Amino acid sequence: MTPKSMSERMSVIVIDMLNDFVTGALKCERAQRIIPNLKKLIEAARAYGVPVIYCNDAHYPFDFEVVNRWGEHAIKGTKGAEVIPELKPTDKDLVVEKRVYSCFYETGLDPLLRSLYNGEGVKTVILGGLHTNICVRHTAADAFFRGYKIIVAKDGVESFTQEDHEEGLKYLEKIYNAKIMTVDEIIEMFAKSRGQS
Ligand code: ZN
């Protein structure tokens, strides 16, 4: 197989699909809608050899964000900080712990992305999970600052309200030039890029 071209070096990043964000301390009813879509996306990525990286809140109770904004959620080592049962990572998936909104901020995500594809590095990150206007947005900012292209799975991200979700998508497109695609369109892209290699 020839080396993958830049546009084909993708990774799926699944953000905060944790018990506390879906059914627990920061329960979000609207998250239910995206679970089957993300399941489909993650399974397709695994099948096409696209790395799947789970980026999960793993807080200490005294973290700034916990104390100053959201209260206790996703405390490291608790059930609330585990990925929801429907989307459990497999041994082949990668997991990065974070302690603020962005998946990049003082985590090992950037060096991890740069080490994938035999050291050629990921070029495009595909974002899914919670919330469109918070952790997805801040992760997109840090991805943009570091020179990654961004795709957002529009039926694979959610927010507490429709307004927050829609505004979040608009912002991602406008400010980070994120491509807003459905999970089905992304899977079609996986199939096409495999066809070319
Ligand atoms: Zn948090």
Whole-number Å distance, alpha carbon 32 to ligand 1 midpoint, is 19
Task: Return the CATH number at 174.
Answer: 3.40.50.850
Within a domain: 2: no
Residue 90 backbone dihedrals phi, psi, to 5 degrees: -95, 180
Within a domain: 1: no
Q: What integer pLDDT is reported at residue 53 of this predicted model? A: 98
* Helix, strand, or coil (residue 159): coil
Domain range enclosing 65? 7-196
Please give the model's pTM, rounded to 2 decimal places. 0.95
Whole-number Å distance, alpha carbon 108 to ligand 1 midpoint, is 17
Whole-number Å distance, alpha carbon 28 to ligand 1 midpoint, is 14
Whole-number Å distance, alpha carbon 183 to ligand 1 midpoint, is 25
CA torsion through residues 40, 138, 106, 82, sign: negative
Whole-number Å distance, alpha carbon 19 to ligand 1 midpoint, is 12
Positions in the chain short of pLDDT 50: 1
Whole-number Å distance, alpha carbon 41 to ligand 1 midpoint, is 24
Within a domain: 186: yes
Within a domain: 51: yes
CA torsion through residues 159, 164, 169, 175, sign: negative
Nearest alpha-carbon partner for 110 in 128, 122, 126, 95: 122
Residue bearing tokens 């301390």: 25
Total count of domains within the chain: 1
Whole-number Å distance, alpha carbon 185 to ligand 1 midpoint, is 30
Whole-number Å distance, alpha carbon 18 to ligand 1 midpoint, is 11
Whole-number Å distance, alpha carbon 64 to ligand 1 midpoint, is 9
Whole-number Å distance, alpha carbon 160 to ligand 1 midpoint, is 15
E strands, the chain, where? Answer: 10-15, 52-57, 94-98, 124-130, 149-158, 179-181
Q: What integer pLDDT is reported at residue 197 of this predicted model? A: 52
* Helix, strand, or coil (residue 160): coil
Do the Cβ atoms of 131 and 159 come closer than 8 Å?
yes
Do the Cβ atoms of 155 and 37 come closer than 8 Å?
yes
Within a domain: 61: yes
